[in-house]
Amino acid sequence: MLSMHESEDYKTVKETQKEYEDLDFYYGEVSACEGDSHSSRPDSSRRIVVNSLPPLPPPLNPTHLAIHNTKKKPSPRWRVILLSAIITIVFLILVIAIILLLLFGSRTNAPYPRISRDEVSNDAQSSNSPILPKKYEVDVTPNHLLTLLITKRKICLFEASTGDEDRSREQFLTEHIESAQLLYHSNLSHSGVPVHPLQFQRYVRSLGVDSDCHVVIYDRGQMIWSTYAAWVFKLFGHQKVSILSGGLLVWKTQMARSAQYHTDSGDEPSAGQGNFLSSWNQSMVITFDDVLLNTELRNYDIVDAQTKEEFSGEASGALYGHIEGAVNVPVDTLYDWKLNKWRSAAEIESALKNAGLTHSKPVIIYCSTSLRSSMVWWVLRRLNYDARVYFGGWPEWVVRAPDELKVLGKHIVE
């Protein structure tokens, strides 16, 4: 009995916590009618009210995440609009670039400005005046050249040599227009065929020719050499090429009237190394295959620049004749060799009209060496014809073309 009493007196603290975990105990609540939990009332008198567990939240899924996400994703619509705007802008830039390229390209390829009939008629009033208005791409008068020299414009002035280069050099060293340099024909052509573009580039660079300089060529009364040199410059891509009207003879005539006109003697000092870049201007020439195809298609008018005797095949010394379908426009009908000047506009227009040439059809020009072809080409270009030189000419045609496309003289046929 004593032991029991001592054990009861020893336990002075009432244990309200169970020795094991009871969920009902942790979630139980004391009834409102009961007093303090630390009251001296026995444990058995306490009534425990057990509540049910709180409900678990519903499981999350992508739909819930999208709905309850406070940071909404931006709509892709603005991206589509931005991409469409960028594509539209790029397309417009490309269209504008193509249009500008076509416009500036046509201006660059156009060798000479279009000349009206009224301007040609006005020039016909005086046989001493040029056929066309004075343009830097066509003819330069002595007065115009003097102005360019005085104002220190970027001019590359050349005297075209003849086939006799030794004689041409001797004459040049004796007297030439101030600041001019001698342009050797052998550095431009081999037997009527233009030299390689790189060879031409190397040669004219050594003469100080730049891509933007104004090339002016003159002769000593033999226009055929200066027109050929001008054609070669245009063939290899130079844009500003002119011929001095009247050449050295007219320049010396002006010297007697004004002290401003000068000539020099001896070699001119080197102008330094130029930067001209040579190219191949396809609008200046046409090939054998093109001419052969034209005998069927008839897209071009063919002009033979040989003499009447050579055209008919009656000339002696070689195998002469002409391409089937060609018309004859001898250089004599366009240029007066005795007066060393072009014939009047009325005479030239009549010669071209009699040959049946029109502006609506491009023209192929040929001869035996391209020299006379270059003179006809120069006239047609001044009148704004689309003219091209077949530099293979009659020598190539007579060898390669079928016999039915060659018209030979009667004595040859017989």
Q: How far apart are CA 294 and CA 308, in angstroms?
A: 23
Annotated domain spans of the chain:
2-50, 141-280, 283-413
Which residues, 6 or more positions from 330, have their beta carbon under 8 angstroms from its beta carbon?
A: 305, 306, 307, 308, 311
Q: What is the CA radius of gyration of the chain?
A: 49
Encode pLDDT of 300-310 as tens digits: 999 999 999 99
- Give pLDDT, residue 305: 96
More confident residue, 188 or 318: 188
Of 318, 252, 275, 285, which is closest to residue 390 (Cα–Cα)?
A: 285
Encode pLDDT of 319-366 as tens digits: 899 999 999 999 999 999 888 889 999 999 999 999 999 999 999 999
Same fold, 141-280 and 283-413: yes
pTM for this structure?
A: 0.66
> Which band of pLDDT confidence, cut at 50, 70 and 90, is reported for residue 394?
very high
Encode pLDDT of 135-159 as tens digits: 445 789 999 999 999 988 899 999 9
Q: Would the pLDDT of 48 be above 60?
A: no
Residue 183 φ then ψ, to 5°: -105, 105
C-alpha of 196 from chain center = 21
pLDDT, mean of residues 42-51: 48
- Give pLDDT, residue 161: 96
User: Three-state SS for 168?
Assistant: helix
Q: Would the pLDDT of 25 be above 60?
A: no
Encode pLDDT of 220-268 as tens digits: 988 999 999 999 999 999 989 999 999 999 999 999 999 999 999 998 7
pLDDT, mean of residues 60-79: 57
Q: Would the pLDDT of 69 be above 90?
A: no
Burial of 112 (0-12, 13-18, 19+ CB in 10 A): middle
**What's the chain's average pLDDT?**
80
User: Three-state SS for 322?
Assistant: strand
141-280, which class in CATH?
A: alpha beta
Of 295, 291, 321, which is closest to residue 308 (Cα–Cα)?
A: 321
283-413, which class in CATH?
A: alpha beta
Q: How far apart are CA 372 and CA 74, in angstroms?
A: 77
| Residue 327 near residue 356 (C-beta atoms within 8 A) | yes
Express as a percent the part of the chain with pLDDT over 70. 72
192: left (phi over 0), alpha (psi -120 to 50) or beta: left
- Give pLDDT, residue 125: 33
118: left (phi over 0), alpha (psi -120 to 50) or beta: alpha
Q: Would the pLDDT of 4 be above 50?
A: no
| Residue 219 near residue 225 (C-beta atoms within 8 A) | yes
Q: How far apart are CA 334 and CA 347, in angstroms?
A: 7
Q: Would the pLDDT of 404 be above 50?
A: yes
Express as a percent the part of the chain with pLDDT over 90. 56
360: left (phi over 0), alpha (psi -120 to 50) or beta: alpha
Encode pLDDT of 165-199 as tens digits: 999 999 999 999 999 999 999 999 988 889 999 99
More confident residue, 94 or 188: 188
